[in-house]
Amino acid sequence: MKKIRYSKERLRNNLRMGMFFISIGIILVLLSFVIGEWKEISIQSVGIGQFGAGIFMLILYYFENRKQYLTMVNGELTKNTLFPKKIKLNQVKSIREFAGDLKLITDKNEFVIDTQIIEPNSLVELKNELNKYKLK
């Protein structure tokens, strides 16, 4: 099993955003206790929303760090998203590179790989693996 990893920058950004949103959420909730209610909008509601967004970003960080972007097992490439997408590499008819994306084209569908979010070493590994199949 080979894993094509997310770039470290992407993972760090998800972690930072999660921590930022959580800290802003906590500050706003605490501020709402000090200031009280505003006329137009409740600061506490905004703070809870920010806190929720932070929790979501931390969950996203954990998921992406654990699963990584792509997984290759026995000639099958899987994109690890909420609903995983799979493609068998022996069914790929051609590969096109356009605007930082790799498109693996089969008879039935296209499988798009965003190369800008892949770690450089993993990208080389992915391209070497795809070259083994000698596609156009």
Which range of residues forms the domain containing residue 101?
Answer: 72-131
Residues above pLDDT 90, as percent of the chain: 59
Q: How many domains does the chain have?
A: 2
Examine the pLDDT at 62 and tell me if it is beyond 90.
Answer: yes
| Domain end (from 67, 91, 110) | 67
Domain assignment present for residue 136? The answer is no
Residues 88 and 46 in one domain: no
pLDDT band at residue 13 using 50, 70 and 90 as cut-offs: very high
Q: Starting at the edge strand that comes first in sequence, how are the strands of the sheet with 76-79 ordered?
A: 2-4, 70-73, 76-79, 85-88
Domain assignment present for residue 82? The answer is yes
Residues 112-130 have a mean pLDDT of: 91
Residues 63-80 have a mean pLDDT of: 93
User: What is the rounded CA–CA span in Å between residue 34 and residue 15?
Assistant: 29
CA distances in angstroms from 62 to 7, 47, 49, 78, 131, listed in the order given: 14, 23, 20, 18, 31
**Phi–psi pair at 80, nearest 5 degrees:** -85, 90
Token pair for 31: 């501020």
Domain assignment present for residue 26? The answer is yes
Q: What is the pLDDT of residues 27-45, one digit of tens each?
A: 988 888 887 766 667 788 8
Residues 63 and 79 in one domain: no
Residues 92 and 35 in one domain: no
Task: Give the pLDDT score at 113.
Answer: 93
Q: What is the pTM of this model?
A: 0.83
